[in-house]
Amino acid sequence: MKASDVMNTDVVYATLPNTRERVLDLFKKYEISAVPVLKNDRLVGIVTRKDILRKVEEDQLALLMTPNPVTVQVDDSLKKVVEIFVNTQFRRLPVLDGEKLAGIITLRDVINKIAEMEIDEPVKDYVTNSTVCVWAETPLNIVGEIMRLSNSELCPVLDENASVIGLIDEKIMLTETLIEEFLEESRYSSSSDSEDSWMWDSIRDYSIKYFEVSVVKLPKEPVRNFIKQAVFVYPQTRISKVAREMVRHDIDHMPVLDADERLTGMVHDRELIKVLLEKD
């Protein structure tokens, strides 16, 4: 199987010269978090939601984007694509035909392919047995700090009976609307008299490893008001079924319950695609 068998050929992209506003419009319109950047029909970079948040004072796309991104060719094997995903933090790879952009492959595209296959082996060997959980009544701003300090990209949310009732992740924390409001406030606010002011100077000292951006002030409402639906699998659930559940519910991580319905670990998309390294 080749990269061309998995890639999405309907690629949303930006061109140089351009601005942050144009990129944000693309993110919002197509509900995506990154776009390749072209100049004279050649790939010159890629820009993500995190790039924009890292460089809040920058407006020009040429300075926002990451130049010379890692790419694959249309004839490269799917195994090569998976190896790059497994060994890096990338969640998407531009696909080239020579020097021309031909498509893009995301981690979700690989999960889609696994969902179409019939891989019957149980998922238990791809389960991460440690995860950080939060209580349903924990304020969202505290959850943000827990995720920052623990380097967690997602937290299962538990009720008073320790049952999983939902998930909270970066996609919920950093919506496009939040980004726009944050950028607007950081550019035009002139004082920090209000406790809720989002002044860049007042928050820039709060480093964050996972989000890779400066911490924004999150609401103090209980996290239960923001969670995604509780979806889970079991250690014996077939791998292709797990992939189908990820696609169906638009999530990248699945809680795993034991026979007593207790949380025992998580299946992450980056771990699940390793199954393809063991297949021909």
Interval 72-96: pLDDT, tens: 999 999 999 999 999 998 999 999 9
- Do 131 and 153 meet the contact criterion of CB atoms below 8 Å apart? no
Identical fold for domains 3-116 and 123-175+219-278, yes or no, is yes
Q: Are strands 134-135 and 154-158 parallel, antiparallel or unpaired?
A: parallel
Q: Which of 54, 94, 52 is nearest to 73 (CA)?
A: 94
CA distance 49 to 9: 21
Q: May I ask the CATH architecture of the domain 3-116?
A: Roll (3.10)
Kindly indicate the confidence band of residue 202, based on its pLDDT and cuts at 50, 70 and 90: very low
- For residue 18, CA distances in Å to 15, 21, 103 come to 6, 8, 21
Dihedral sign for Cα atoms in the order 134, 204, 189, 183: negative
Q: How many beta carbons lie within 10 A of that of residue 239, not counting itself?
A: 23
The DSSP result for 155-176, as a single string, is EEEE-TTS-EEEEEEHHHHS-H
Does the pLDDT value for residue 182 go beyond 80?
Answer: no
Does the pLDDT value for residue 115 go beyond 60?
Answer: yes
CA distance 93 to 110: 11
Kindly indicate the confidence band of residue 198, based on its pLDDT and cuts at 50, 70 and 90: very low
Structure-token match 């020009």, residue found: 60
CA distance 52 to 169: 19
**Using only C-alpha atoms, what is the Rg of the chain?**
20
**Phi, psi of 152, rounded to the nearest 5 degrees:** -90, 135
Q: Taking CA 255 as the corner, what is the angle to CA 210 and CA 258, rounded to the nearest 5 degrees? A: 140
The per-residue pLDDT for 280 is 54
CA distance 251 to 107: 11
The per-residue pLDDT for 149 is 83
CA distance 211 to 244: 27
pTM (two decimals): 0.80
More confident residue, 28 or 114: 114
- For the chain, which residues make up each domain, given as ranges? 3-116, 123-175+219-278
Q: Which of 117, 119, 126 is nearest to 239 (CA)?
A: 119
CATH topology of domain 123-175+219-278: CBS-domain (3.10.580)
Does the pLDDT value for residue 196 go beyond 50?
Answer: no
Nearby residues of 206 by Cβ (< 8 Å), 6 or more positions away: 148, 214, 215
